[in-house]
């Protein structure tokens, strides 16, 4: 487990002032103050240590959020927005206490327009519910992070969430046309547009998407939808080793084939898939899950092309025969995060991205790190995007310095391959100290200046994204 340092919390007097201002503004029924109730809002799905807030606001409207922001600003305590709480980088952990604004109760799908292909939603809508509602109208909202049954659209926007289908369809940012947000002083602001085109002014909407709750709190989003792509066909390509599967990914990209998902599973994760009842040839040491969509004939043609590309190295290529087989495979894939957590006492899950032709090089690097440090590394994820979840697993707490060394080495390798530290989980607190490995100081300073424009006192989701300490030289 990676612990963040402890940050100074508001004094007891400040916390009391915040609680009474909140209760006066919102009424006591919308403000949780007991330590037990606050504990439920302390953590997320990352490895970051949970920290209980001093109060929680159960928001049911934009006006509630505006009132909460004004009260917390007046008391000068941190404000931490929270939607589904399924984040993977500590983004909604109230590391310095203060007030959590819980938006899960704002779960209205306000509009779905077939004519305009847009949906207007509140931030607490669970992603799977949005998928179902949109698909019932013959449309499609592609972002599909694996937590889709528990994550909410407000958090997806904050983290610019993605998922397997991002390879063909892109990330959440590509589908946000406009936002309604509340600023730190309680101002309600509309950004963006409802039309498919529009270049008026700066693209503030894009800036807010992926800002990890550090600039404003989303109260409504206008989302772009696309027509339902139609049929879907899912394939499993099995390989004798993980490098061969990595080479197949590059070959697919080079061949211009465009499945909607290219997911890679290495040997360690294949066992977890087998354990969930998916039959996988014992000779296989790696797998690619490939999924195509479109008109049925088009699916057939794409699948054939993928088969040809994979045939160079694959042991076998299988097509899911029915919906049940397909669902079982995806369920096993979606369960890899908890399954890998159960493989060791401690786990760190990373979210690095490399240029797709460097996937074999990244995999080799993980093997080299494993050999050097003894920290087990298993890898799976969205190989079509070069976005791999490298998981570090270990059982002995005394190995923590080796974990630190492994991480440094991994991140440095990724940056030297011209990759990036996070493809979809965000920086949060988990990667904040590593930001300087990837971004030049001037860029970090520019972002800090932007943060100060939105939040001069630094109250909104503090200690996220920006490094807390100068990174020491890589441990050798």
Chain positions contacting ligand 2HG, by CB under 6 A: 88, 145-146, 336-337, 349, 381, 389, 391
Distance between CA atoms of residues 389 and 265, nearest Å: 10
* DSSP secondary structure code for residue 422 in this structure: B
Query: Exposed, middle or buried, 66 (CB in 10 Å: 0-12/13-18/19+)?
Result: buried
Minimum CB–partner distance for residue 259 and ligand 2HG (Å): 17
Question: Looking at beta carbons only, is 53 or 210 nearer to ligand 2HG?
Answer: 210
Give strand pairing partners of 119: 112, 223
Question: Looking at beta carbons only, is 142 or 192 nearer to ligand 2HG?
Answer: 142
Distance between CA atoms of residues 86 and 205, nearest Å: 23
- Helix axis angle for 267-275 and 323-334, nearest 10°, is 130
Minimum CB–partner distance for residue 134 and ligand 2HG (Å): 22
Distance between CA atoms of residues 159 and 424, nearest Å: 7
Of 61, 71, 59, 63, the residue nearest 24 (C-alpha) = 71
Minimum CB–partner distance for residue 35 and ligand 2HG (Å): 29
Minimum CB–partner distance for residue 335 and ligand 2HG (Å): 9
| Strand 55-58 to 99-102 pairing | parallel
Minimum CB–partner distance for residue 386 and ligand 2HG (Å): 14
Minimum CB–partner distance for residue 341 and ligand 2HG (Å): 8
Distance between CA atoms of residues 60 and 117, nearest Å: 26
Sheet containing 55-58: order of strands: 31-32, 55-58, 99-102, 79-82
Question: Looking at beta carbons only, is 126 or 336 nearer to ligand 2HG?
Answer: 336
Question: Looking at beta carbons only, is 268 or 381 nearer to ligand 2HG?
Answer: 381
Question: Looking at beta carbons only, is 88 or 463 nearer to ligand 2HG?
Answer: 88
Minimum CB–partner distance for residue 298 and ligand 2HG (Å): 27
Question: Looking at beta carbons only, is 75 or 161 nearer to ligand 2HG?
Answer: 161
Burial profile 211-249: b = 16 or more Cβ within 10 angstroms, e = fewer: bbbbbbbbbbbbbbbeeebeebbbbbbbbebbbbbbbbb
Question: Looking at beta carbons only, is 118 or 272 nearer to ligand 2HG?
Answer: 272
Question: Looking at beta carbons only, is 73 or 340 nearer to ligand 2HG?
Answer: 340
Q: How far is CA 200 from CA 97, 191, 203, in A?
A: 38, 10, 8
Of 58, 70, 52, 54, the residue nearest 29 (C-alpha) = 58
Minimum CB–partner distance for residue 278 and ligand 2HG (Å): 16
């Amino acid at each position: 487990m990676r612990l963040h340092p402890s940050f100074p919390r508001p004094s007891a007097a400040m916390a009391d002032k915040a609680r009474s201002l909140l209760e006066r503004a919102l009424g006591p029924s919308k403000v949780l103050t007991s330590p037990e109730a606050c504990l439920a809002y302390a953590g997320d799905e990352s490895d970051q240590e949970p920290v209980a807030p001093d109060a929680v606001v159960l928001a049911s409207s934009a006006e509630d959020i505006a009132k909460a922001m004004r009260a917390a600003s007046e008391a000068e305590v941190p404000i931490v927005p929270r939607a589904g709480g399924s984040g993977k980088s500590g983004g909604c952990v109230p590391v310095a206490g203060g007030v959590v604004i819980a938006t899960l109760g704002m779960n209205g799908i306000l509009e779905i327009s077939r004519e305009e292909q847009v949906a207007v939603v509140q931030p607490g809508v669970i992603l799977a519910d949005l998928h179902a509602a949109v698909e019932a109208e013959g449309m499609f909202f592609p972002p599909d992070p694996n937590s889709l049954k528990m994550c909410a659209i407000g958090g997806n926007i904050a983290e610019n969430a993605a998922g397997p289908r991002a390879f063909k369809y892109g990330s959440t940012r590509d589908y946000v046309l406009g936002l309604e947000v509340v600023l730190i002083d309680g101002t309600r602001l509309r950004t963006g547009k409802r039309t498919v085109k529009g270049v008026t002014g700066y693209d503030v909407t894009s800036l807010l998407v992926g800002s990890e709750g550090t600039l404003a709190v989303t109260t409504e989003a206008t989302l772009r939808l696309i027509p339902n792509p139609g049929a879907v066909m899912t394939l499993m390509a099995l390989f004798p080793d993980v490098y061969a599967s990595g080479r197949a990914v590059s070959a697919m990209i080079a061949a211009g084939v465009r499945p909607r998902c290219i997911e890679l599973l290495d040997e360690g994760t294949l066992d977890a898939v087998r354990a969930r009842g998916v039959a996988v040839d014992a000779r296989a040491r790696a797998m690619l899950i490939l999924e195509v969509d479109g008109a049925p004939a088009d699916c057939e043609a794409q699948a054939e092309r993928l088969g040809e590309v994979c045939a160079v190295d694959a042991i076998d290529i299988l097509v899911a025969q029915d919906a049940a087989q397909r669902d079982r495979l995806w369920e096993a894939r979606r369960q890899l995060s908890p399954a890998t957590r159960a493989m060791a006492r401690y786990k760190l899950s990373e979210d690095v991205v490399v240029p797709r032709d460097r996937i074999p090089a990244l995999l080799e690097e993980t093997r080299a790190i494993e050999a050097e440090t003894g920290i087990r590394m298993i890898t799976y994820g969205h190989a079509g995007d070069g976005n791999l979840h490298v998981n570090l697993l270990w059982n002995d707490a005394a190995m923590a310095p080796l974990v630190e060394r492994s991480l440094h080495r991994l991140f440095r390798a990724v940056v030297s391959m011209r990759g990036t530290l996070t493809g979809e989980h965000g920086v949060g607190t988990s990667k904040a100290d590593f930001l300087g490995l990837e971004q030049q100081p001037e860029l970090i300073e520019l972002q800090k200046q932007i943060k100060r424009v939105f939040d001069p006192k630094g109250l909104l989701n503090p200690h996220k994204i920006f490094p807390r300490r100068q990174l020491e030289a890589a441990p050798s």
